[in-house]
Chain A
Amino acid sequence: MVNYLTVIGISIAFAVFVLICRAYIWPPLINAMRARQERIAQGLENAEKAEEALAKSNADAEVLLRDARAEGQRIIEQARAQATMVVEDAKDHAREEGERILTAARAEITQEINRARENLRQEVAYLAVVGASRILSSEIDRRKHSAMLENLVREL
């Protein structure tokens, strides 16, 4: 039933096949597969890292943007406040200036009035003297009657 030489032949063939497989076939295949596994693992890891970095930069950008927006808002507020202040200042200045001009004008007017009053007084005094001299047909001695004239002028 069993053919011994065939058994021996197959056993030898088996040994030779295993030997060849172990020497020339298994190592290159399994090494290539492990190397690829390594590469894929590396690639996945890198992708994960890149994703993390992206998320981080996105968050950073978000923070930066928010800060920038807040800063902008602050600057605008400040500018607005400053503008208001400038306008108020200008208003105050203008008011003061106006008041100053008004005061000066009033003073000048008063001065002018006083001057006009003085002139008028003198004019009236003269006219009074002239009138009186004409009435009295005599000349009033200015030196003699100066005191009286002064009084007259003051009364006018």
Chain B
Amino acid sequence: MAEKDGTPPTPTEYIAHHLTNLTFGKRPDGSWGFASSAEEAAQMGFWSVHVDSLAWAVGLGLVFLLLFWLAARRATAGVPGMFQSAIEAIVEFVDTTTKDIFPHKNPWMAPMGLTILIWVFLMNLMDLVPVDWVPNIFRYWLDVEYMKIVPTTNVSVTLGVAIGVFLIVIYYSFKRKGAGGFLAELAFHPFPKFAAPVNFVLESVTLLAKPVSLALRLFGNLYAGEMIFMLIAILYSAGIALFLLGGVLHLMWALFHILVIVLQAFIFMVLSTVYIAQAYEVPEEDGH
């Protein structure tokens, strides 16, 4: 892989390049445009956006909606075709999983679980595309310098989904317990009422840990996976022996990663549902 100025990149440069998002935003001099380097992107501060992550995430979300909409459009109670059967198997799985861990009646939980499962899975799936293919296409044919195609290796993306879930948790906490009940839950537990400030700090951390752990778990797994794919990719340009070794390692890691991407999507769905189920739980009068 050659840099545009002709000198081959060092492994560090290669990895740093692959970890840089395509960023659009307001430059320090006040003009708007794509950042030409990681440093410039960092200087943009708040008024910037990771165009690649956002575009791939939204695109993959649309793929999810399109796939399931195609099945939903022709869904009949008659004999289903292969495609409909496959989609229905997923729907059935999400439905039973949600019913198992969410004992309340809420018509939003299962669709939310399905959205998370398939959307996160599709975003994770991009990790199996060899790391140089899409960035090189964008680089040489479309003159786009940076292109991270796995949205879930971007902590902003995983945090975005986790905050969406967190807002639902907050909403149902208020709705089920009322503002007072919710505050009481935060302040009068685990210590007696006189220690309310301490309790409040502890419980707030517990509450905030939910979206943070949700986001970081998915991000960490996928980021590490992506990193290892990059390290393997570096082997490809280091002689025939390492090329072959890289091929074997790539295959093994990709096979293992199939497990990881499905599992992480499933965990995200289950934990989101569990957190909302916890928000639903109204404590007993004498308890807490």
Contact pattern, A 18-35, Cβ under 8 Å of B = 1, otherwise 0: 101110111011111101
Q: Kindly state the separation between the CA atoms of A20 and B47 in the bound complex, as whole angstroms.
A: 29
- With beta carbons under 8 angstroms apart, the residue of B46, B65, B95, B111 that contacts A5 is B46
- Asked if B61 CB lies within 8 Å of chain A CBs, one says yes
Interface size class of A (residues with CB under 8 A): 20 to 34
Q: Give the segment of A9-17, A87-95, A126-134, A137-145 that binds chain B.
A: A9-17
A21 B114 Cβ-Cβ under 8 A: yes
A40's nearest neighbour on chain B, judged by CB, is: B77
- With beta carbons under 8 angstroms apart, the residue of B47, B71, B107, B163 that contacts A7 is B163
Known A-B contacts A8-B160, A10-B160, A11-B167; A29 and B64 likewise in contact (beta carbons under 8 Å): no
Specify which chain A residues have a CB less than 8 angstroms from the CB of B48 in the assembled complex: 3, 5
- Asked if B68 CB lies within 8 Å of chain A CBs, one says yes
Specify which chain A residues have a CB less than 8 angstroms from the CB of B58 in the assembled complex: 9, 13
Contact pattern, B 157-199, Cβ under 8 Å of A = 1, otherwise 0: 1011101100100000000000000000000000000000000
B77 A14 Cβ-Cβ under 8 A: no
A28 B73 Cβ-Cβ under 8 A: yes
Specify which chain B residues have a CB less than 8 angstroms from the CB of A74 in the assembled complex: none
Specify which chain B residues have a CB less than 8 angstroms from the CB of A39 in the assembled complex: 77
Specify which chain B residues have a CB less than 8 angstroms from the CB of A15 in the assembled complex: 164
B69 A13 Cβ-Cβ under 8 A: no
- With beta carbons under 8 angstroms apart, the residue of A8, A11, A24, A38 that contacts B72 is A24
A18 B112 Cβ-Cβ under 8 A: yes
Chain A nearest Cβ from B281, distance in angstroms: 22
A39's nearest neighbour on chain B, judged by CB, is: B77
B53's nearest neighbour on chain A, judged by CB, is: A6
Q: Which B79-106 residues have a C-beta within 8 angstroms of A?
A: 80, 87-88, 91-92, 95
- Asked if A36 CB lies within 8 Å of chain B CBs, one says yes
Q: Kindly state the separation between the CA atoms of A24 and B32 in the bound complex, as whole angstroms.
A: 38
- Asked if A136 CB lies within 8 Å of chain B CBs, one says no
- Asked if A2 CB lies within 8 Å of chain B CBs, one says yes
A7's nearest neighbour on chain B, judged by CB, is: B160
Specify which chain A residues have a CB less than 8 angstroms from the CB of B115 in the assembled complex: 14, 17-18, 21
- Asked if B76 CB lies within 8 Å of chain A CBs, one says yes
- Asked if B50 CB lies within 8 Å of chain A CBs, one says yes
Specify which chain A residues have a CB less than 8 angstroms from the CB of B49 in the assembled complex: 3, 5-6, 9
Known A-B contacts A21-B115, A25-B68, A36-B78; A30 and B91 likewise in contact (beta carbons under 8 Å): yes
- Asked if A1 CB lies within 8 Å of chain B CBs, one says yes
Q: How many residues of B contact A (CB 8 A)?
A: 49
- Asked if B154 CB lies within 8 Å of chain A CBs, one says yes
- Asked if B129 CB lies within 8 Å of chain A CBs, one says no
A6 B154 Cβ-Cβ under 8 A: yes
Contact pattern, A 101-137, Cβ under 8 Å of B = 1, otherwise 0: 0000000000000000000000000000000000000
Chain A nearest Cβ from B253, distance in angstroms: 26
B88 A29 Cβ-Cβ under 8 A: yes
Specify which chain B residues have a CB less than 8 angstroms from the CB of A25 in the assembled complex: 65, 68-69, 72, 111, 114
Specify which chain B residues have a CB less than 8 angstroms from the CB of A5 in the assembled complex: 25, 46-49
Chain A nearest Cβ from B166, distance in angstroms: 9
Known A-B contacts A4-B46, A32-B75; A21 and B68 likewise in contact (beta carbons under 8 Å): yes
Q: Which residues of B contact A (CB under 8 A)?
A: 21, 23, 25, 46-50, 53-54, 57-58, 61, 64-65, 68-69, 71-73, 75-78, 80, 87-88, 91-92, 95, 107-108, 110-112, 114-115, 119, 151, 154-157, 159-161, 163-164, 167
Task: Give me the 7 closest cross-chain CB pairs, A-B, nearest first.
Answer: A10-B160, A35-B77, A32-B75, A6-B156, A14-B164, A26-B111, A22-B111
7 more A-B contacts (CB under 8 A) besides A13-B54, A22-B107? A3-B156, A13-B58, A28-B73, A29-B71, A32-B75, A32-B76, A39-B77
- 24 A-B residue pairs with CB within 8 Å: A2-B156, A3-B23, A3-B50, A4-B46, A4-B156, A5-B48, A6-B154, A7-B160, A10-B54, A10-B57, A13-B58, A14-B115, A17-B115, A17-B119, A18-B112, A18-B115, A25-B111, A26-B110, A26-B111, A26-B114, A29-B71, A35-B77, A36-B78, A36-B80
